[in-house]
């Protein structure tokens, strides 16, 4: 079953085409890695999937619910209530973490549970502490985001997203703001989630990580999907574009 | 007359000044919030209206606004108002200071990165929850220094109430000085403003310290 299906997505920014008809499907339990050079449109794709950007054209279905569709040549989105429902199935992890600086680590994970999911403070805290433990952040529960390292901040933001029990988790370059020493712990967390069967789409520059964790690779260049397939396409790319991209990275 | 005698004579005026100060803050601090929202509104007529209001309140002297608020009911509408002096001062001060505060709020709110709204959005917070739970607390921290500036100016501006004959502290000081041909009342007045502002600055520093638990 597909958790998310996007068809023929087109998106312009100030008249400049960023995505020129991209389709993306994510099956339940699958980890999809979205690769591509800077400016290829991969971040825009994941932001459209996570409902942070609106598509100019295209259709989108999330867990059998129609999110957006074409009507008389126009892309129409579902109403606010339906979108709220769809959004509650999605989690999003940003490149720059976007933690709430005025909340402690613990409160970053409990607050939305209490105010959005309407859990009791006790339930929320139990869930949060379990997630902090899983992210190896138990000892940092009372720290504020500025007191955490980049890797800790990103793991905290993953805990914050997981606390809302999303059916699909989107990552927009989760390690690009981290120095190489700190990326490991974040990638390890994503790897563990993949092993547990979490449905995920990850925009990343980490080729080795994509190769070892992703069930499927989507390679985007200049707003179109140039090549798509199992992780093995990274070892045997068939398109010249992916070949060139990979050789540029390994050099 | 000794310094102490003069100070005790000024006491009633000080109470008036402090009352004006407190009532102005009590009115202007909340009133500035809808004004700031109005300014940022995407509905053009509302934002133009609020921008125009702020532009006029900042662009004309407070003393002139004071006179307008005091005299307009009688001169323009022929409504006789007795005992209206102090109320008129408070209204004019609130209207004027709300404009300045609104600009500070707007700048503060706009300085919070858009990514904070995005993070709140993907977690499913409503617009109200996002503003009051995520944006406003961070805004308060950022606007504290410019607000302190304005509040210190307000302490000194209370002396403008003399323009319509409200017996605030400085009005009395001038009268005593004239009667006694003495500089002492002015010294007492200066001391009053200075100590008042010292307290304001101290409170602000305390608040900043209290909010320094995060960055």
Tokens coding B143: 């606007």
> Shortest CB distance from A116 goes to which of B118, B119, B125?
B125
**Where residue A67 falls among pLDDT bands split at 50, 70, 90?**
very high
Query: Residue A221 forms beta bridges with which residues?
Result: A224
Concatenate the DSSP letters of all residues of chain A into one string. Answer: -EEEEEEEEEEEETTEEEEEEEEEEEETT-EEEEE--TTSSHHHHHHHHTTSS--SEEEEEETTEEEEEEETTEEEEPPHHHHHHHHTTEEEE-TT----TTS-HHHHHHHHHHHTS---HHHHHHHHHHHHHHTT-GGGTT--GGGS-HHHHHHHHHHHHHTT--SEEEEESTTTTS-HHHHHHHHHHHHHHHHTT--EEEE-S-HHHHHHH-SEEEEEETTEEEEEESGGGGTS--SHHHHHHHHHHH-
Flag whether A236 is in a domain: yes
Number of domains forming the structure of chain A: 1
Which residues of chain B fall short of a pLDDT of 70?
1
The distance of B116 to chain A (nearest Cα, Å) reads 6
Neighbours of B189 (CB within 10 A): 24
3-state per-residue secondary structure call for A52-116: CCCCCEEEEEECCEEEEEEECCEEEECCHHHHHHHHCCEEEECCCCCCCCCCCHHHHHHHHHHHC
> Which domain CATH number covers A45?
3.40.50.300
Q: How far does chain B reach from its first CA to its final CA, in angstroms?
A: 53
The SS3 call for residue B60 is coil
Q: What is the mean pLDDT of residues A82-92?
A: 95
> Shortest CB distance from A98 goes to which of B118, B124, B125?
B118
Residue of A nearest to B114 (CA): A98
Q: What is the mean pLDDT of residues A44-59?
A: 96
Residue of B nearest to A96 (CA): B115
- Which residues form the domain of B77? 3-213
> Which domain CATH number covers B206?
1.10.3720.10
Q: Is A251's pLDDT higher than 60?
A: no
pLDDT of residue A247: 87
Chain B residues with CB under 8 Å of a chain A CB are 113, 115-116, 118-119, 121-125, 129, 133-134, 137-138, 141, 213-215
**Could you report the per-residue pLDDT of B127-148, keeping only the tens digit for each?**
999 999 999 999 999 999 999 9
In whole angstroms, what is the distance from residue B20 CA to residue A48 CA? Answer: 53
Residue of B nearest to A170 (CA): B122
Question: Where is average pLDDT lowest: A9-18, A74-83, A126-135, B76-85?
Answer: B76-85
- A173 contacts on B by Cβ (under 8 Å): none
Residue of A nearest to B211 (CA): A102
> Shortest CB distance from B134 goes to which of A87, A100, A145?
A100
Flag whether A194 is in a domain: no
Q: Is A250's pLDDT higher than 90?
A: no
Pair B48, B54: CB distance under 8 Å: no
Buried b or exposed e, range B116-133, using 16+ CB within 10 angstroms: bbbbbbbbbbeeebbbeb
Number of domains forming the structure of chain B: 1
Mutation choice for B interface testing from A111, A163, A177 by most B CBs within 10 A: A111
**CB–CB contact B214 A115 (8 Å):** no
Q: What is the mean pLDDT of residues A52-72?
A: 95
- B123 contacts on A by Cβ (under 8 Å): 112, 116, 160-161, 164
- Which residues form the domain of A67? 1-87+199-251
**Where residue A32 falls among pLDDT bands split at 50, 70, 90?**
very high
**CB–CB contact B124 A52 (8 Å):** no
């Amino acid at each position: 079953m597909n958790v998310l299906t996007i068809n023929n997505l087109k998106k312009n920014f100030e008249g400049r085409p960023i995505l020129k008809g991209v389709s993306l499907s994510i099956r339940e339990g699958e980890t999809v890695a979205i690769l591509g050079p800077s400016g290829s449109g991969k971040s825009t794709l994941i932001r459209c999937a996570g409902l942070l950007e609106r598509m100019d054209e295209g259709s989108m279905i999330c867990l059998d619910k129609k999110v957006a569709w074409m009507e008389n040549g126009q892309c129409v989105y579902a109403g606010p209530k339906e979108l709220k429902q769809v959004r509650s199935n999605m989690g999003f992890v940003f490149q720059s973490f976007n933690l709430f600086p005025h909340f402690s680590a613990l409160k970053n994970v409990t607050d939305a549970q209490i105010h959005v999911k309407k859990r009791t403070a006790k339930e929320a805290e139990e869930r949060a502490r379990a997630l902090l433990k899983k992210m190896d952040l138990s000892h940092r529960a009372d720290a504020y985001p500025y007191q955490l390292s980049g890797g800790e901040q990103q793991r905290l933001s993953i805990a914050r997203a997981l606390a809302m029990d999303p059916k699909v988790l989107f990552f927009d370059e989760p390690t690009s703001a981290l120095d190489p020493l700190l990326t490991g712990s974040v990638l390890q967390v994503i790897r563990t989630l993949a092993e547990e069967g979490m449905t995920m789409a990850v925009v990343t520059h980490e080729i080795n990580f994509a190769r070892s964790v992703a069930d499927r690779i989507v390679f985007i260049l200049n707003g179109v999907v140039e090549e798509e397939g199992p992780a093995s396409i990274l070892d045997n790319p068939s398109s010249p574009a992916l070949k060139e991209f990979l050789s540029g990275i390994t050099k | 007359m000794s310094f102490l005698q003069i100070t005790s004579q000024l006491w009633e005026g000080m109470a008036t000044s402090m009352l004006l100060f407190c009532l102005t803050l009590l009115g202007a601090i909340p009133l500035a919030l809808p004004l700031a929202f109005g300014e940022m509104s995407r509905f053009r007529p509302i934002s133009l209206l609020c921008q125009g209001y702020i532009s006029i309140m900042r662009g004309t002297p407070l003393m002139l606004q004071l006179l307008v608020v005091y005299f307009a009911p009688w001169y323009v509408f022929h409504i006789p108002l007795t005992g209206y002096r102090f109320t008129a001062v408070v209204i004019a001060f609130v209207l004027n200071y709300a404009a300045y505060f609104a600009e500070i709020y707007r700048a503060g709110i706009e300085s919070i990165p858009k990514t904070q709204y995005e993070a709140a959005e993907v977690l499913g917070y409503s617009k109200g929850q996002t503003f009051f739970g995520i944006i406003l607390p961070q805004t308060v921290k950022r606007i504290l220094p410019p607000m302190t500036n304005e509040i210190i100016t307000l302490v000194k501006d209370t002396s403008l109430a003399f323009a319509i004959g409200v017996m605030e502290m400085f009005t009395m000081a001038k009268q005593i000085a004239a009667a006694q041909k003495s500089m002492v009342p002015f010294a007492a007045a200066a001391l009053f403003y200075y100590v008042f502002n010292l307290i304001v600055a101290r409170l602000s520093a305390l608040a900043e310290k209290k909010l320094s638990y995060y960055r």
